[in-house]
Structure 1
């Protein structure tokens, strides 16, 4: 037995022993990647066999494609074969780390499809997020996937960014809490979590991957916080460097970010991967190197470990020969990769039991959690007596909008392949509505052209909006996009972002027609980021923000509409009144002139933390106690309405006498509290030292002396109780 196969030794020691036996060539293969799209492609085997050297690299990337279905078992079998071939070709039988995407569900073998991250953030339910992370981890490891490029924890401060739906919204703490929960779920199943994109990867105007001129103070106060938490509390052992540059250097070769902050300051002990083509971008886009091999060498020297997605062995060899890559830097990178291969048990047990994959992936228990998540993620934005619909009184229901007949999972390369996702037992919104109302009501699914004819005949109407969002779809406006029927198919073709206006149909006009024709109309928003509703919202009596609620979203939306489920979700991102207000977020810092325009009062359409219920709640009997570095808040929640329900109680701080300028409001804690109709329940929220810490003028994060206003409410703009505390000498005191 090789010395490095001694399980009694630490992963680090075993990695050191293995490294000592490796040739220079084998080391170079360990920091290379390779991407093959689809274990299910007809030419997969030929493509696989023709890629010389592929067997030696550290990871492969496999997508599911519905055109050629692959069961979880088939995916597991192919991955096992990949691992076997890789080990046979390796001088030391080193298996690869199989990697891929899992933003809101594992991406192989039709795995369970959960709501998009923006939806999960709306639940304000960290425990539910942990369950989702655990399931994603189980479904990944079931087929042999050992690393995923998730979660996305980029704090979204401009909703024009096309990838807003991949994030947990605009608040750093919510991003941190959700990210930590996801990472813990993945890592406890032996799947390496890879938070991304490190860091601040969109710029002014919501432009993806543009240069970041963010100050170090803002970077630390907002954008770095979720990453630090995911490593220190979530146990994430990898991170993806972003495409953009910060402080004059691309993130993939930014020593300040990758070495000084990440490793020396935070103590990160995992490995860093580039975003796809990020190393090449350091040369081709950012021009901080004369050649791609020089850029590759600079990145590894700065602290990057793996160049993704394609084979980079030749770049390592050229960089080494030209003096741009030292063996010392190469050894450090390889050692970090090997250490994780030992730590997750890959070196000792590289194969999975393919026979069990079908039993695990998308089992009944997992689908139930997807349904629970969908129910908790849907937000009631407006309701003037229309919702919930009374099933007994509905004899004819009008349904409009192309999204009514599409799985509500969202368009994105991450997760189970977005709108390509489907399963035998999954249903679209219109299919579930027809099933739910079978025998009691007629459901008429009509085109926009038929609205003025159909809507007046119905007892109620629903319009399902269609917004296609994702990477590369940054928006120049935030209105509902116009749409046209595709020439060769019935599915709606959407134009977003770089807009052409000569299209046949207009969703805003269609919604306005429906609202004018039937006062019992509900607008169902299926989108990934805030939209401008100014053209039609005054005429709408009910608006539901469903986001992209995942595979069980059709059932969840129906249950919300008919009162089988009481909505409890809250907005994790501010809805502006118009694009002219952007960027707009709740925790801004004071301004000498305010944030209003001459033609706009500066207030949002819907504030962060906002969300209605079918019942009403009162927060009362607030009592606070300061003890040492902690603050405990006791309160009661009374359900004064006619439905059982859940409220999200939120605690905000404002620094009133601090060393530096503080936001006018910062979320410090939240808690979901349930109460039956007429019931009063007692609850408690505890805040520890960190709630009182901030970055002072010397850029030291600690509990500095200051005075604080504590605000309690159910939305950032609906504060119902306030009191003050102060920090003196490292202790919290009641003011």
Structure 2
């Protein structure tokens, strides 16, 4: 029986009530038909997430910095293999997952302040599409009939803001839609390596994405069996927050007719979804044929994984020993190395010579951070930890140690059942100021008990305790605001609960009513700057490791308010550099920063995303010269916030977003990255072919070391009747070139790469005329010309 015949047979035998129940994310089992329970959605953005211990690869933006299709395909294959293990042989206590995976995120990284910047690959639509195809190819697998997993692309359409994300209406010009936003979605679908798409929370041009006509007219036109999975609670948002519909039966009916197949709504409770569709059917708002169309697509997706024909499934033998296995650890290290970008290197600064002492300074020097879409780290190699076998290492986090007391002299102490005020002595906390976000215009702070290493947090009842291993969770309960009261005194305010800290009846500190808010004074125990300066002076060299915590002031639901480093981190860097000029800055972050002062004064700077379990291995290897940095920036690093348009301005052409249309001089251009060797380019030849153009260039390693070059091909249209980009990426290849050797790099450029969207013609048009090609090492460097 063919898949189509199997699905049609199931649709005939299922009752209407059973069909409706299967439109919810949590599909119930139907034992009489041999259908097992199923649910859409297993997160695999950079490894398996939310299921426990699994291989943690670099964040997506770090994978994007590799510019390496083969690497992303390998990471996708590894992640899918671990999903299969969780499906067929889950570890004790772990859930048995479905084989539908929600990844990758293919929204281009238009605005570096976007809270979810870490989840995308590149600001360029072509690079995004290419890397998405590679990652999805690994997730899908090579078998001609059975998919290893079924990837769902996120988030359609024009999703680059967390601020009011469920109600914001983004105006997208037609050219921007077709030239910038759609390629990341259409290319994986046309390549046959993506099974579905998830709509975004926002509206586009006045229409919520979950009822947008483009779902059918553009996406399903490219892939007729495309499954559309709603984002969490978005179906209800159509009524509750967006108020686009007056009631849920009508909104659900409209979403179903628009093409949404699976409803992630009300958590695991399918009752509301069932009731709404039942009412919509009874009222004639939908037909059973509408239900069959949606469920048919879902069943065909399930069939692709071999679920209904396990005898033909080549992946059923994968077992739990594949999870966080040695081969995947080696791949994680390779990926972490590939994404390290050397931003600046003054003569003699890097790489370091062997021996001597180093002070590793900064809150990320001896830590490896995860993010919302990370698995549980099987192990963690920190920067300091990776340097210790080779150098005499000292570590300083650069944070002040403080105590908290009330004006009457009682001091805050950590007790077994919470925090209380006593006559003394009190607890000592490492205090960090994380700065502001769009959602919180006052700085947020964390307080880490130095005795236990745990962070001060608050539970649902408002009781404070020093019990959190790290700031984490959908609601980050470890964030505190310090609201000024009288001079020298402040109120402690829970950012998570929106309440002030008071003293409860049992003496424990509690976040409660504002009229009982306690006043606190800060007791300085030691200065983080002074400690860091002393360590810097005592060491031969210094690496300052700064950056973000992916759970704070830049994450899902929270956009950054600025590109600048938090003031506490900027002050630390300046003080350390003054104390020891042999200082290197290592930024570990989910997004770019405006670090113009550092670029002017710090001898060497490198950047990595939060690169998972092997972060420290990769950064240390770059510092010591064990590896030659070959990563390149996947997005522009701007000089200041002033360079950026408004966050909700999606007109990249008219407003000057990204390297294609930005009118100013960036701090670091798109594609930028240095090496410990040098590369020379031969003449670029461009010839016409039957399908477009062929470009060819020879790259020579003219320096003393083996290295990787990311050869980037750009085109400048000089004949368009509409505003054209200064450069548009038309091809890229990461090539390993041994010292003194050359490599020939060829690009096949389709005509579509030279095209703009003609609103009059309703299609992409590449008019005859002059196009200038550039083969270069970044988006601004003109090494050779041709065309």
Give the TM-score normalised by structure 1: 0.80
Could you say which residue in structure 1 is the equivalent of 2:292? 331
Q: Which runs of 5+ in 2 are unaligned?
A: 88-97, 142-146, 399-527
Matched, 1:480 2:565: yes
Could you say which residue in structure 2 is the equivalent of 1:572? 634
Instruction: Measure, in 2, the Cα distance between the counterparts of 1:221 and 1:113.
Output: 33
Matched, 1:519 2:581: yes
Provide, for residues 433-473 of structure 1, a one-character-per-residue CA deviation record: whole Å limited to 9, x for no partner: 22x32xx5243445333122111111110111131332012
| Partners of 2:695 and 2:748 within 8 A in 1 | yes
Matched, 1:105 2:97: no
Matched, 1:290 2:233: no
Decide whether aligned partners of structure 1 residues 430 and 354 sit closer, same or farther in structure 2, where only a CA change above 3 A counts. Answer: farther
| Partners of 1:202 and 1:210 within 8 A in 2 | no
Could you say which residue in structure 2 is the equivalent of 1:377? 339
Could you say which residue in structure 2 is the equivalent of 1:405? 366
SS at match of 1:140: helix
Matched, 1:271 2:227: yes
Instruction: Measure, in 1, the Cα distance between the counterparts of 2:614 and 2:364.
Output: 15
| Partners of 2:716 and 2:771 within 8 A in 1 | yes
Instruction: Measure, in 2, the Cα distance between the counterparts of 1:667 and 1:656.
Output: 15
**Partner of residue 422 from structure 1, selected from 371, 377, 388:** 377
| Partners of 1:575 and 1:605 within 8 A in 2 | yes
Aligned pairs for 1:315-714 within 5 A: 315-349=276-310, 357-392=319-354, 394-408=355-369, 410-412=370-372, 414-416=373-375, 421-423=376-378, 425-434=379-388, 436-437=389-390, 440-445=391-396, 447=398, 448-449=528-529, 450-468=531-549, 469-482=554-567, 506-583=568-645, 589=653, 602-696=664-758, 697-714=760-777
Deviation, structure 1 residue 658:
2.5
Provide, for residues 227-280 of structure 1, a one-character-per-residue CA deviation record: whole Å limited to 9, x for no partner: 0001111521111011111122111111x112111223x233121011111111
Deviation, structure 1 residue 510:
0.3
Instruction: Measure, in 2, the Cα distance between the counterparts of 1:296 and 1:162.
Output: 29
| Partners of 2:344 and 2:599 within 8 A in 1 | no
SS at match of 2:65: helix
Instruction: Measure, in 2, the Cα distance between the counterparts of 1:331 and 1:591.
Output: 44
Instruction: Measure, in 2, the Cα distance between the counterparts of 1:721 and 1:205.
Output: 43
Instruction: Measure, in 2, the Cα distance between the counterparts of 1:457 and 1:695.
Output: 60
| Partners of 1:149 and 1:193 within 8 A in 2 | yes
SS at match of 1:611: coil
Deviation, structure 1 residue 661:
2.9
SS at match of 2:198: strand
Matched, 1:722 2:782: no
Instruction: Measure, in 2, the Cα distance between the counterparts of 1:559 and 1:12.
Output: 53
Deviation, structure 1 residue 198:
0.7
Could you say which residue in structure 2 is the equivalent of 1:141? 84
Q: Which runs of 5+ in 1 are unaligned?
A: 1-8, 35-55, 58-85, 483-505, 725-735
Instruction: Measure, in 2, the Cα distance between the counterparts of 1:238 and 1:574.
Output: 30
Decide whether aligned partners of structure 1 residues 138 and 442 sit closer, same or farther in structure 2, where only a CA change above 3 A counts. Answer: closer
Matched, 1:244 2:329: no
Decide whether aligned partners of structure 1 residues 207 and 21 sit closer, same or farther in structure 2, where only a CA change above 3 A counts. Answer: closer
Instruction: Measure, in 1, the Cα distance between the counterparts of 2:314 and 2:743.
Output: 47
| Partners of 2:704 and 2:739 within 8 A in 1 | yes
Deviation, structure 1 residue 583:
4.0
Aligned pairs for 1:27-106 within 5 A: 27-34=19-26, 56-57=27-28, 86-88=29-31, 93-97=35-39, 99-106=41-48
Deviation, structure 1 residue 588:
6.2
Provide, for residues 600-657 of structure 1, a one-character-per-residue CA deviation record: whole Å limited to 9, x for no partner: 9821111001110011111113333323333222322222222111111111111111
Instruction: Measure, in 1, the Cα distance between the counterparts of 2:654 and 2:18.
Output: 56
SS at match of 2:310: coil
Question: When you count strand as a share of all residues, which structure comes out higher?
Answer: 2
Deviation, structure 1 residue 688:
2.9
Instruction: Measure, in 2, the Cα distance between the counterparts of 1:403 and 1:478.
Output: 19
Give RMSD over aligned pairs. 2.7
Could you say which residue in structure 2 is the equivalent of 1:260? 217
Could you say which residue in structure 2 is the equivalent of 1:160? 113
| Partners of 2:638 and 2:666 within 8 A in 1 | yes
